Structure 1
Amino acid sequence: MIVDGYLSFPKKYVQNYTNNDTTWILQSQSRIFLNTSKLGDVVATIVIYKNLTDVISARSEFNRSSNDDDIVNGPVLSCSISNVSSSLASPIILSFEHGQTNFINASCNYWKFSSPGYWASDGCIVRASNDTITVCECDHLTNFAVLMSPFVEAHVKSKALRLVSIVGLSLSTFCLLLTIIVFAKLWRYVRSDRSVVLVNLILALIISYAIFLGGVDRTENKIACTVIAAALHYICTVVFCLMLAEGIGIARDVILVFAQTSILSKLLVFAWGLPVIIV
């Protein structure tokens, strides 16, 4: 169907489709849009191959051998015009509905006829992509498809990984608490601006470990998950800022050896306040 110089296929009003195709055509998000305003009098031939995933090879220009990971995730869209010398006034827009939703790394490709044939991507770009659809833009006409890779979820619920995290962070927390006890016993001898910043850093690390151990896998509640993520983001940023504050303090002691004023309060306000703005 041509509207205002644009060819759209398939059209929504079903006239000559068989009963088996009617539901799929009406519900499918796979579409072809072609600007025909400057092509002159041409005949456009457009075909949508519903599912060739198990038939056609997924080898690409980067991997000419058979690739067991990537697949043609969706229909193959084919478009050609009778006047092959006509150049496209604007790129052809192709919308591909994914056959499977648990795939990532969408790439727009066209079939390159050679021996053996393979999928190439030059002249095609991805305009948009989500879990269910990928929109491509290409500067030529041929047979097009979207190649995608399966999503492999990290095994974050591994008992071994959980045990290592608990043991490692518990040991680190114990050492940090031991450091605070030593500081408390010897505070009259070690008291300084640098020591105060260091104690703040230790406290921030202990808080971050506690939040991580207590809430990192609490994902069943969206609000709780958001709060924990924000708290982790904040406290980890505080740790980095306290390290920066300690570096600033050391640099100041070296450069201004006989400085009489203290900037401790400013450093602490900076380290605990800036992360609030960032988060």
Structure 2
Amino acid sequence: MVVKQTNTSEYVSFTLDTVEGQVFMVGPKVTLDKIPRLDTTDSSVDIDLIGIAKNNNETRSAAVAFMSYNTMENLLKPDFFNASNYTIKTMMSTVISATLPKTTNTKLTKPVNFTLRHIREFDPSGSLFCVYWNISEWIVDGCSVLKTTSSYTVCSCDHLSTFALIMQTSHPPKSDSLMELVNLVCVIVGLVFFSLALLTFALCQWSPGVNNVARINICISLLLAHLLFLLTQQFLSLIRPLQVLCAVISGLLHFLFLSGFVWMFIEAVLLFICVKNLSQISSKKREVLSSGFLCVIGYLVALVVVCVSVGLVPEGYGSEDCWIKKEKGFIWSFLGPVCVILALNIIFFIRIVITLNSTLKNLNAEVSQMKQTKIMAFKTLAQFVVLGCSWILGFFTNGSKVLEILFLILNSQQGTFIFLIYCVLNNEVRQQYRNFFRCLCCGRKKH
């Protein structure tokens, strides 16, 4: 038997596949002033066991058994909580139990406090209830919420039993089928233009001074991110119950979107170097940074941010939409680096404009090179506005339907803007398109 008589105090802990527990016993010669808190992985209890032992006049001893069950919520479901029928009930903690074995007088001298860690994402708009199991249902009688945060809740009860924490939320609004259709169409169109831009970068001949490595990797990162996001939203009902898969997907999305911003910053740096080299004829055509080095930087920075985020807040991934959770400000693991990159890009663009103006006054030759650089600066600035400002707009939606639609269109059409800016508006590329379609039409006529 785990519980046995003792003169002072004794502690036993055990862990099984489905249950984790602790037993604490005190005897007539106990020297403790206060019973230490009993802990399991997701819960803890504070109980006045010494006061209970003093009320047992014969033995002057008492014992408490505290257990946490990993899968009990599958049997004692939150639906057995008979609150409003027009709400959603969610089990927010593991099911726990506390008993006083081999204790004659089990009357509590003080209320017992349980600390329950939230095992699911906390909804600030929901109502939390500390409940206990009574024969066939969860009820609230004798239990109340003392304190709650986004990660845990403290319950106080005037009796011992089997307990849990249940959150009650209103039914989510009916899905907007029009918004879902617009989202689907916009993302698919954006993916098509990302693919066309990649094909153009890969197959068309470009001027010797044009470095497309940053643009190619921007397209790759954002193409994969939007494709993964689209597939996740289409199969969300199947993915959401698989919490590990949902967390992995949100981590991948974090990495891919962040990589797109890092590559955008790299392109601004390359443009700045190009502008600086305009006044240094000898270094104009020199390769400043190798493509391999740029690829390492472009993806390593995003990978480091994601790894640090996982190390600091491992439960931060896997929201209801399989994206980054907003609790504990974890969303800033994405927004923080994005804001830093946007701020640095603004600084680089200011420097580029100043340098271009200065060079234009002093440079008499290489007019074509100057013109090409000015066009590239304009295109990079346009790309910065398109890729960066769409995410900034997301800060200000606040439930506004118009802003949500605008954010959806701008964010999903990043591939379209890149294709227009770098492909359609490029004279050399347009000429190669004409030659391709001319050959295609001639080939059909011959047949």
TM-score (norm 1): 0.47
TM-score (norm 2): 0.31
Structure with greater proportional helix content: 2
Structure with greater proportional strand content: 1
